[in-house]
Amino acid sequence: MTTNEMWGGRFARGPAAIMEAINASIDFDRRLYAQDIAASKVHARMLANRGIISQADADAIARGLDAIKTEIDQGKFTFSRALEDIHMNVEARLKELIGDAAGRLHTARSRNDQVATDFRLWVRDSIDAMEAGLAAFQRALVKKAGAHAATVMPGFTHLQTAQPITFGHHLLAYVEMAARDRARFQAARRTTNENPLGSAALAGTSFPLDREATSRELGFASAMRNSLDGVSSRDFALEYLSACAIMATHLSRLAEEVVLWSSPAFGFVRLSDAFSTGSSIMPQKRNPDAAELVRAKCARVTGALVTLLGVMKGLPLAYAKDMQEDKEAVFDATDSAALALAAMTGMVEDMQPNEIAMRRAAGEAFSTATDMADWLVRVLKKPFREAHHITGRIVAMAEARKCGLADLSLGELQSVEPGITADIQSVLSLDASVASRTSFGGTAPDRVREQVRYWQEQLK
């Protein structure tokens, strides 16, 4: 086996097969090729502008890099594991295309600051794509919420029927979660958007670089101020993964609800064939496989965050080869999160609520009991704790008679609390209960429509 020429003369023998297998990252870091080529072009242009390399060499490097990008885009590039990573693969091909001028590209930089730059550019692009996906998810939720601002369904605590709410109100809760997800991605973008290029291996370089120029051309807000931090920090990736993991948790919660809602036991929504599958043995089955897979994909995202935290927690400054393990976790999490987000957006657009089943379920389990207690406080001026106790006795009576609260006669209600009048019936219907929740952020249809209008404006 020949010596890896990129390492130079320090190593007399090439790596053993096992070492090559564990050391190579080209199988996954090839995904950085567009960012690697873009950063290399900017670096070469800066070197020429500073008189560090000739303009002729910079022009040749740019032409060669453009040709390599075209080859990779068209699937014509041959990647070599012997060359370890995307940087060496590109540089080796560049030498084949333009000769010795290719060797001048690596002046005043190291693979350490090169990969840090490429990775930040890749994460920044992924953040922008994830934020756009979240906006589409929000628009789908808002549209469905607007159509069902007054569709009554049960609200749950402890997965037990609590109070009636509207389907639109329920969906808007996820719009709010997605808004915070977007804010987290925006914060991660600010952290990511710093330029490590020029940090070199760890100590900077003696060449007169123009780091402001490379930062400007690559769209970074500024150059990183410490070369050790520039090559060894991966907290930007951790912050990105954290945002992905929290978003994935929100998606998984909605996916779990879709699984429940689409089951015969609930029957709240129906997914079309586009997001359902059948059973190989039971012809009657409609399985919410897309929602179930979203739950599982989201677990992988959380796992990626834990993986990178584990990789980074014990590393002294500066760069260590452990950091090669950062990219697979981020790539996998990005793929899983983006797919889960797209699938969940599609399911929101696709699902059709069963308004009859929702309303029937909302009327079960004495869901307007709180409205009764509130009436006792508001009309009879009872302390809430006393009103709660009175209502509990009335619920027990209705339970014993196997009827709803509204089905009890006035005499039966007065046997528990003599001050009750026929007016109490005005708060015991589902529609009256929902309409009464007019506090800001409440489930009253008018409030839901108000929030729909707000989000429509925000999402333009």
Q: Which residues are designated catalytic?
A: 158, 279
Q: Which residues contact 300 (CB under 8 A, 6 or more apart)?
A: 332, 333, 336
C-alpha distance from residue 419 to each of 28, 319, 413, 416 (Å): 74, 77, 9, 9
Conformation bin of residue 304: beta by default, left when phi > 0, alpha when psi is -120 to 50: alpha
Q: Which amino acid type is present at position 310?
A: G
Q: In whole angstroms, what is the distance from residue 154 CA to residue 160 CA?
A: 9
Q: In whole angstroms, what is the distance from residue 233 CA to residue 319 CA?
A: 8
User: How far does CA 92 lie from the centroid of its chain?
Assistant: 37
Decide: 368 and 433 in contact? Cβ < 8 Å: yes
Q: Which amino acid type is present at position 62?
A: A
At 430, list the tokens. 């589902």
End-to-end CA distance of the chain: 60
Q: In whole angstroms, what is the distance from residue 171 CA to residue 146 CA?
A: 10
Coil/strand/helix, residue 4: coil
Q: In whole angstroms, what is the distance from residue 197 CA to residue 216 CA?
A: 12
Decide: 250 and 178 in contact? Cβ < 8 Å: yes
At 242, list the tokens. 């954290």
Q: What are phi and psi of 446, to 5 degrees?
A: -65, -40
Q: In whole angstroms, what is the distance from residue 305 CA to residue 237 CA?
A: 9
Decide: 168 and 145 in contact? Cβ < 8 Å: yes
Q: In whole angstroms, what is the distance from residue 239 CA to residue 308 CA?
A: 11
Coil/strand/helix, residue 42: helix
Q: Which residues contact 61 (CB under 8 A, 6 or more apart)?
A: 40, 41, 44, 94, 98, 101, 102, 104, 105
